[in-house]
Amino acid sequence: MPARPTLDFWYDFASTYSYLSVMRIEELAEGAGVSIRWRPFLLGPIFAAQGWNNSPFNLFPAKGKYMWRDLERRCRKYDLPLKRPAPFPQNSLTAARIALAGRDAGWTPRFTRACFALQFGEGRSIQDEPVVVEALRQAGIDAQGALAASKSEEVKGRLKAETELAKSLGIFGAPAFVTQDGELFWGDDRLDDAIEWVAQ
């Protein structure tokens, strides 16, 4: 049996448009016979390298105002609840480390969905440990074990390496999708195109 075609899905837990893709990607990929590799990373260091010390949606107010309205329209279109978390953007370090701690055991997608649903569906602060613990529990994951693993040097190093790799792939925002032949697609608006590219 030939291996299923694979698409790398790069996302940051603080990213609003990543919420849309996190909630949509599994069904789309399944329908197209594509496997998804979930690759959480941190946009912060990539933004910092181009001189931004905050989200562009905060740095550029007109863009930020538009994004929230656009996100509202997209969530309605995709039938997703939306409640703005405060502060925005959330510090996504803890959630990203936890997600990477679940890579080998395979629960990264489940945790990611639960975490995004709490953050953008209910407006909860994923910077707070009780909220990520709640996400772990909702996803049926041993919370104490996951938290401990997420604080290991191995997982910390893994996140740094993933973020470096994202940068070297030319990723400058999230979500991003990268095919095995190096084709980069940026934004939830390109999710369908990325899957189609890989499926063909």
Residues that bind its own copies in the complex, under the rule CB under 8 A: 50, 60, 62-63, 65-66, 69-70, 73, 170-173, 184-187, 189-190, 193
Burial classification of residue 20, based on how many CB atoms lie within 10 Å of its CB (0-12 exposed, 13-18 middle, 19 or more buried): buried
Task: Give the shortest CB-101-to-its own copies separation in angstroms.
Answer: 28
Q: For residues 186 and 17, is the Cβ–Cβ distance under 8 A?
A: no
Question: Which residues have a Cβ under 8 Å from the Cβ of 65 and sit 6 or more positions away?
Answer: none
Residue with tokens 């803890």: 94
Of 69 and 160, the one with the shorter C-beta distance to its own copies is 69
Task: Give the shortest CB-161-to-its own copies separation in angstroms.
Answer: 19
Query: What Å distances lie between residue 63 and 46, 55, 67, 68, 200, CA to CA?
Result: 19, 11, 6, 9, 35
Task: Give the shortest CB-69-to-its own copies separation in angstroms.
Answer: 7
Of 59 and 161, the one with the shorter C-beta distance to its own copies is 59
Q: For residues 171 and 187, is the Cβ–Cβ distance under 8 A?
A: no
Rounded to an integer, what distance in angstroms lies between the CA atom of residue 82 and that of residue 85?
A: 9
Of 32 and 143, the one with the shorter C-beta distance to its own copies is 32
Task: Give the shortest CB-104-to-its own copies separation in angstroms.
Answer: 30
Of 142 and 196, the one with the shorter C-beta distance to its own copies is 196
Task: Give the shortest CB-38-to-its own copies separation in angstroms.
Answer: 21
Rounded to an integer, what distance in angstroms lies between the CA atom of residue 46 and that of residue 18?
A: 16
